[in-house]
Amino acid sequence: MQPLGIIVFSSIMGTVGFQVFLEAVRQLLGPNHTHHLESLAWLVSLMLGVIVIKFVLWLYCRHNQSEIVRIYAEDHRNDVLTNSIGLAGAQRPTA
């Protein structure tokens, strides 16, 4: 049952990720290009908080003896990297 659940969940996540990608391309290349993070300092603060928490969890989990906990450490590291890149890409460039 577990492999079936993994296949179903990954298919759903892949579909959602593809839909987000299509919407991003449509907004970037469309005539009504808008930037939605111009006045949302609270959202940027929340993302920074998540990045810091995930970084601390990575530091805590990376030297554990359990293989499962080390896999969680890799996941936390990947979350830090992808969230940092996403946050950097979402920032409005200053002129």
Q: What is the pLDDT along the chain (95 residues), one digit of tens a residue?
A: 778 888 888 898 989 888 988 887 887 777 776 666 556 777 788 889 999 999 999 999 998 899 888 998 999 999 999 999 888 877 655 55
Helix ranges (DSSP H) in 1-95: 2-29, 41-61, 67-90
Q: What angle do CA 79, 82, 88 make, to 5 degrees?
A: 130
Within this chain, do residues 59 and 16 fall inside the same structural domain, yes or no? no
Q: Are residues 44 and 71 in the same domain?
A: yes
51 and 66 both lie in a single domain: yes
Write down the pTM of the prediction.
0.60
* pLDDT confidence of residue 38: 59
Residues 45 and 76 in one domain: yes
Shared domain for 29 and 47, answered yes or no, is no
Structural domain for 27, as ranges: 1-34
- For residue 43, the model assigns a pLDDT of 78
Query: How many Cβ atoms are within 10 Å of 87's Cβ, its own excluded?
Result: 16
Amino acid occupying residue 48: L
Instruction: With beta carbons less than 8 A apart as the criterion, state whether 87 and 54 touch.
Output: no
Q: How many domains does the chain have?
A: 2
Whether 24 and 54 map to the same domain: the answer is no
Report which residue type is found at 95: A
Pair of tokens at residue 36: 């939605």
